[in-house]
Amino acid sequence: MELIYLNTRYINYFLIVMSKSILMHLMKLNLNLDLNLLMK
């Protein structure tokens, strides 16, 4: 029981970190695109 609980907590944490990093990456891409459009 403890193992399953720890496992789900770890998976949830991992998913949150992954989604945050993906969001950050997308935001950076958007910023880069915006800057490129402004520079033209």
Chain segment 23-33, per-residue pLDDT in tens: 999 999 988 88
Report the number of distinct structural domains present in the chain.
Answer: 1
Structural domain boundaries, residue 2: 1-40
Three-state secondary structure of 1-40: CHHHHHHHHHHHHHHHHHHHHHHHHHHHHHHHHHHHHHHC
Q: Residue 25: what pLDDT?
A: 93
d(CA 23, CA 15): 12
Mean pLDDT, the chain, rounded, equals: 88
d(CA 5, CA 8): 5
